[in-house]
Amino acid sequence: MMDLVWLTLPQVIANGLLQGSAIALGAIGLTLTYSILRFANFTHGETISWGGYFTLTALAALTPWIGGIGKWGGLTFGWGLVVALGVGVVGASLLALALDRLLFATLRRHGSAITLVIASFGASLALRNLIVFVYGPESVQFTRELVIADRWLGGLVRVTPDQLAVLGLSAALAVGLTVFLRFTTTGRAMRATAENPALAQITGIDTAHVVRTVWVLGAVLATLAGVFIGITAQLRPELGFDLLLPLFAAAILGGIGSVPGAMLGGLIVGLAESAAVEYLHAGYRNAVGFLVLIAILVIRPTGLFAARG
Amino acid sequence: MALDLATYLVFFLILALNYAVLCLGLNLQWGFTGLFNVGVAGFFAIGAYTSAILTGPPRPEAVGGFDLPVLIGWLGGTLAAGVAALGVGWATLRLRHDYLAITTFGIAVTIQLVALNEEWLTGGAFGIEAIPRPLAAWFTSPTQYNLFYLGLTLALVALVFWGLERLVRGPWGRLLRAIREDEVAAASLGKDVRTQRLIAFALGSAIMGLAGAHFATFMGFIAPESFLPVVTFQVWAMLILGGSGNNRGAVLGAILVWGLWSVAGVTVKALLPPDLQVRGAALQVVLIGVVLAGVLLIRPRGLMGEERAISPHTQATATASTAPSSTPASGGPDAR
């Protein structure tokens, strides 16, 4: 038995890191909206799904001009996907901004944080079912091309070039975003608004602009997460819904508002899911995020890296 | 034709009133106590499965099928959901609103996964079938039986409604509203806020469990897909539309939203070809979502809203206490 664990462990870790990097990208977007807009946004999962589907639609619609998904070396995608991703990002951002304009902005003015959560819970179900209506209930893939997984560590780990690329891109994005928040004026304005909106406004920060920036930034990261999942696995209407608990778990585990925290939280949740599927019971994959969440809420509700030191 | 319509109407009303019981349970939690439960489907499922296992015929491949009387099944379902809520509430009610929302959502997802995976207990994806109906031998046709069951359902709703009205109009109801409006003030008056919230949460969930038992007995068959988060969503839409904090509003909202849902379902079935039915059915959820958002935006107190809790003589000066959302500006997302 011990031998078996040792033999499967490298692959479990690889799968966990891959799943974790998608969760991390989603959780970074969630933690930013959570800290600045101050409510648990259940629609974030659906932004991930919609971003993926928007990109897929753009890819199909633009094929006459961009000639399909493209091909870079051993990867299954190339410039074509980058162009389509640009369209997908715009689509998801417009969706997020429209939701804010039509629903959340009014409720922010009149209601309390909890009314926002009810509204986002309702909107998330509506958005998910809109995917079923538009695209159908079946899963779809970006490419039908078969990829041979490369063997590493003497054959113990099998990873496709796509998966490696996604892992690297996710890490680069997290680093870039941390730098952005720390050193740019917009990033500082965002952190100030998260800390204290009233004080931020008094000091001359355009908080409405910050709110829009947060929605767009969240939508960009969500689209990337959706497309990364679409490339390495597939797109399903329930994709965003199934990610909700892992996303919240990762964001709260990392400490709301902390980008490195969400990244690490995402990796931890991804590894936990991967280990649970391999060693415990594959049917309970979606409950793993919840167990991590309960554990962190009981032991340390402020998360590993609380936003303020 | 007219008979068909009447038969359908009876069937419709039984399910609408089933939702009304769920909605009354949620109203106790959210409308009166301000507890944000997004796990309605989970407690509904616990009640349904408990009752089905207690009353169902023996199953060779799984635990239970104890063939007990339906009344025992319903009491068992109510009790099981209440006890589960005590455990859940003990662990989560001290959390802030939005964390409570996320954890109750997670609990409902987990309960549904248990229903799907633990075949020895729940029958897995195939669920539990042949759940007996009370006094079924006395009736000759399904229509006659449904008419009887509608009477039973009406009695059940009336009982729950009457019990809740007595509770919330009495001292305990005032205490719950005080906790909802200002926890700290209630605590400073010597009230044990935590225990009272826990009792309200457990009682509301027990009522949801009762609704689950009622549902399982009526359908005669339950499977995990009856307990998806969409149930929670429907019940919330019902309560918000009817008016949270008002039991009559909860019942009215249940009938209206279920009516809207059913009309949309029938329309989709009539208009769309078979291969597009699944896609069309998704539009039902979108429709209810739009209604929910519209009510929150245009009329947050719902159709009925909460009754004034102060003397009518002071109306001129006092500001009405409206939705249970008047918690003082909640702080940042983490415990600051």
Convert the pLDDT of each residue in A191-220 to its tens digit: 888 888 889 888 888 888 999 999 999 999
Distances (CA, A) of A165 to A52, A74, A79, A168, B36: 17, 10, 14, 5, 41
Task: Look at B289 and A126 and tell me if their CB atoms are within 8 Å.
Answer: yes
DSSP B124: G
Q: Does B227 touch chain A (CB under 8 A)?
A: no
Amino acid of residue B127 = G
- CA–CA distance, A162 with A147 (Å, rounded to integer): 9
Asked if B29 and B201 count as a contact pair (C-beta separation under 8 A), the reply is yes
In chain B, how long is the greatest CA-to-CA distance? 68
Convert the pLDDT of each residue in A130-188 to its tens digit: 999 999 999 998 877 777 777 877 777 888 888 889 899 999 998 999 899 889 988 88
- Per-residue confidence at A264, pLDDT binned at 50, 70, 90? very high
Query: Does the structure show a pLDDT above 80 at B334?
Result: no
Alpha carbon of A262: minimum distance to chain B alpha carbons (Å): 14
| pLDDT greater at residue A228 or residue A69 | A228
Average pLDDT for B253-279: 91
Asked if A161 and A80 count as a contact pair (C-beta separation under 8 A), the reply is no
Amino acid of residue B306 = E
Convert the pLDDT of each residue in B161-203 to its tens digit: 999 999 999 999 999 999 888 888 888 888 888 899 999 999 9
The closest of A47, A223, A230 to A127, measured between CA atoms, is: A47
| DSSP-H helix ranges across chain B | 2-26, 40-55, 70-92, 97-117, 119-122, 142-169, 171-181, 183-188, 193-219, 229-242, 247-271, 277-298
Between the ranges B34-48, B86-100, B313-327, where is the mean pLDDT highest? Answer: B34-48
| Domains by residue range for chain A, with CATH | 2-299 (1.10.3470)
Among all chains, which residue has been given the structure tokens 């301000």?
A: B34
- CA–CA distance, A67 with B21 (Å, rounded to integer): 57
ipTM for the whole predicted complex goes beyond 0.85: yes
Alpha carbon of B152: minimum distance to chain A alpha carbons (Å): 32
- Per-residue confidence at A282, pLDDT binned at 50, 70, 90? confident
Distances (CA, A) of B13 to B1, B136, B240, B259, B336: 18, 19, 20, 9, 48
Convert the pLDDT of each residue in B103-114 to its tens digit: 999 999 999 999
Closest Cβ opposite residue A129 in set B99, B285, B300: B285
Distances (CA, A) of A200 to A24, A128, A193: 28, 35, 5
Chain B partners within 8 Å of A284 (Cβ): 110, 113, 117
Instruction: Let me know if B22 is exposed, middle or buried by CB neighbors in 10 A (0-12, 13-18, 19+).
Output: buried
Asked if A237 and A131 count as a contact pair (C-beta separation under 8 A), the reply is yes
- CA–CA distance, A176 with A261 (Å, rounded to integer): 15
- Per-residue confidence at B335, pLDDT binned at 50, 70, 90? very low
Task: Look at A117 and B36 and tell me if their CB atoms are within 8 Å.
Answer: yes
Average pLDDT for A10-26: 92
The chain-wide mean pLDDT, for chain A, equals 88
Query: Does the structure show a pLDDT above 90 at B15?
Result: yes
- CA–CA distance, A178 with A175 (Å, rounded to integer): 5
- CA–CA distance, A221 with A227 (Å, rounded to integer): 10
Convert the pLDDT of each residue in A28-66 to its tens digit: 999 999 999 888 999 999 999 999 999 999 999 988 888
Q: Which of B234, B286, B299, B301 to mutate to test the interface with A (most CBs of A within 10 A)?
A: B286
Q: Does B272 touch chain A (CB under 8 A)?
A: no
- CA–CA distance, A71 with B185 (Å, rounded to integer): 65
| pLDDT greater at residue B205 or residue A75 | B205
What pLDDT does residue A87 have? 95
For chain B, the domains span: 12-227
Task: Look at A122 and B236 and tell me if their CB atoms are within 8 Å.
Answer: yes
Which of residues 90 through 129 in chain B touch A, CB cutoff 8 A?
A: 91-92, 95, 97-99, 101-103, 105-107, 109-110, 113, 116-117
Q: 3-state secondary structure string, chain A? A: CHHHHHHHHHHHHHHHHHHHHHHHHHHHHHHHHHHHHCCCCCCHHHHHHHHHHHHHHHHHHHHHHHCCCCCCCCCCCCHHHHHHHHHHHHHHHHHHHHHHHHHHHHHHHHCCHHHHHHHHHHHHHHHHHHHHHHHCCCCECCCCCCCCCEEEHHHCEEECHHHHHHHHHHHHHHHHHHHHHHHCHHHHHHHHHHHCHHHHHHCCCCHHHHHHHHHHHHHHHHHHHHHHHHHHCCECCCHHHHHHHHHHHHHHHHCCCCHHHHHHHHHHHHHHHHHHHHHCCHHHHHHHHHHHHHHHHHHCCCCCCCCCC
DSSP B57: P
Amino acid of residue A147 = V
What pLDDT does residue B329 have? 39
What pLDDT does residue A214 have? 93
Average pLDDT for B36-51: 96
Q: Cβ of B295: how many Cβ atoms within 10 Å?
A: 20
Percent of chain A with pLDDT over 70: 97
What pLDDT does residue A2 have? 54
- Per-residue confidence at B310, pLDDT binned at 50, 70, 90? low
What pLDDT does residue A94 have? 97
- CA–CA distance, A222 with A190 (Å, rounded to integer): 18
What pLDDT does residue A229 have? 92
CA dihedral B206, B207, B210, B216 (to 10 degrees): -110
Convert the pLDDT of each residue in B201-241 to its tens digit: 999 999 999 999 999 999 999 999 999 999 999 999 999 99
- CA–CA distance, A308 with B331 (Å, rounded to integer): 14
- Per-residue confidence at A8, pLDDT binned at 50, 70, 90? confident
Chain A partners within 8 Å of B237 (Cβ): 122
* CB burial readout A96-117, b (16+ within 10 A) else e: bbebbeebbebbbeebbbbbbb
